[in-house]
Amino acid sequence: MNAVTSLPRDVALGLYRTLYLARRCEEVIVRIYPDDEMKTPMHMSMGQEAVSVGICKALAGNGDVIASYRSHATYLAHTEDHRSFFGELHGRTNGTADGKSGSMHLADIPKGMLGASGIVGAGIPVALGAAFANKQQSPGRVVAVFFGDGAVDEGAFWESLNIACAMGLPVMFVCEDNDLAVHTRVSDRRGYSSLPDVVRRYNCMVLEDESNDVEAIYRLGRYAIEQMMSQKTPAFLNIRTYRYLEHCGTAPDTDAPYRKAAEDAFWKGRDCVAMQRKRLLEGGVPESEIVKMERAIDADIEVSVAAANQAPHPGQDLLYRGVFHEAS
């Protein structure tokens, strides 16, 4: 990695700020989950935040996103709204969906966070529809759809890739490749050896990253958007990363048989949050400034948690609201 950032100081700091926010929110979840106030299955982003943060920041406010069920980092990177985030995880009316959706379906439609699904790969075709609408109504606006390497095994991915390429839709396929579908390795699920190589057979730009470095991913995202606009093709980004915690739940499962110690050490040696912090320091940002920012985020997250705990539970009147369209 570059010792010193090549990005403007505020961008580099902004990336770190959001990375830290996503990481810190999940660290708080780990801390308070045993209190049993958040009754929702958690699929934690921890370790993988650079993908969401790099890409969402690259959208620069002119894009929509769709997340996988491992949606915390994507939601936070795109909206930075941890009040609604914690409200939803607590099942309260100040959440993104009055507490009806929980961890797996975070959304903020006005901000272009178009949702997440508990069904692997289900967001991918939806992204094409959103991209089609953008092509007609908001030229220049792209849709980034995040999914894991497991989703690539679904037929819906291949149908979507073909259609997006055939129609030249402004959709950025972002594969968060942690080598795992739940606990099953790519090598146990795929007959082919290189996904990017297969995707290159389509009329699609293919980019790869293995750095886990938020700045590299941010630049890759910026480059992809420029190219998508000039070449009128979709882009496929295969971004290698690593899941720190268990598939579902807040515990580390480093001792589970599917884990590899060397792999664990390798990725934790390039932790995306630590790398960006180090870069800022080496680039001359005073540690006091960083710490001040971190403490402010910490305090604000505690405010969100307290607000969630104090927010009303949804009442019976909300049980049926939203099942069908209701004229307002």
Under rule CB under 8 A, residue 286 binds another protein:
no
Q: What is the DSSP letter of 39?
A: -
Q: Would you state the structure tokens that stand for residue 208, as one six-digit string? A: 């790869």
- What's the one-letter identity of residue 164? A
Q: Which of 27, 100, 283, 290 binds another protein (CB under 8 A)?
A: 100
104 binds another protein (CB under 8 A): yes
Q: Residue 283 burial (CB < 10 Å; 0-12/13-18/19+)?
A: middle
The pair of structure tokens assigned to 62 is 């002119």
Give the CB-side neighbour count of residue 192, counting CA atoms within 13 A.
8
Shortest distance, position 96 Cβ to another protein, whole Å: 11
Dihedral sign (CA 229, 230, 236, 239): negative
Q: Is 156 an interacting residue with respect to another protein (CB under 8 A)? A: yes
168-227: which residues touch another protein (CB under 8 A)? Answer: 181-184, 188-194, 197-198, 200-204
CA distance 89 to 232: 39
For residue 109, state whether it binds another protein (rule: CB under 8 A). no
Q: Does 305 bind another protein (CB under 8 A)?
A: no
Up-side HSE of residue 75: CA atoms within 13 Å toward CB? Answer: 31
Can residue 101 be called a binding residue for another protein (CB under 8 A)? yes
Contact flag: residue 309 with another protein (CB under 8 A): no
Q: Which is nearer to another protein, 110 or 191 (CB)?
A: 191
| 79 neighbors 111 (Cβ within 8 angstroms) | yes
Pairing assessment for the beta strands 113-116 and 142-148 based on DSSP bridges: unpaired
Q: Considering all CA atoms of the chain, what is the largest pairwise distance in Å, rounded to the nearest integer?
A: 57
Report the amino acid identity of residue 29.
I
The pair of structure tokens assigned to 128 is 């094409």
User: Which member of 118, 249, 252, 283 binds another protein (CB under 8 A)?
Assistant: 118
Q: Which stretch binds another protein (CB under 8 A): 52-60, 154-162, 222-230, 281-289?
A: 154-162
Is residue 316 at the binding interface for another protein, with CB under 8 A as the rule?
Answer: yes
Choose, by CB under 8 A, the member of 30, 126, 290, 318 that binds another protein: 318
What CA–CA distance (Å, rounded) separates 225 from 91? 36
Binding pattern to another protein, positions 256-275, x when CB under 8 A? xxx-----------------
Considering the rule CB under 8 A, would residue 325 count as an interface residue with another protein? Answer: no
Select the residue interacting with another protein from 1, 60, 109, 119 (CB under 8 A): 119
Q: Which of 290, 139, 289 lies closest to 225, judged by CA? A: 139
Residue selected from 57, 78, 105, 277 as contacting another protein according to rule CB under 8 A = 105
Q: Note whether 284 binds another protein by CB under 8 A.
A: no
Local structure of residue 287 (DSSP, 8 states): H
Of 133 and 318, nearer to another protein (C-beta) is 318
250 alpha-carbon distance from chain centroid: 17
238 sits near another protein (criterion: CB under 8 A): no
Chain residues that interact with another protein, rule: CB under 8 A: 38-41, 91-92, 95, 98-105, 117-121, 150-151, 153-159, 161-162, 164-166, 181-184, 188-194, 197-198, 200-204, 256-258, 313-316, 318-320, 323
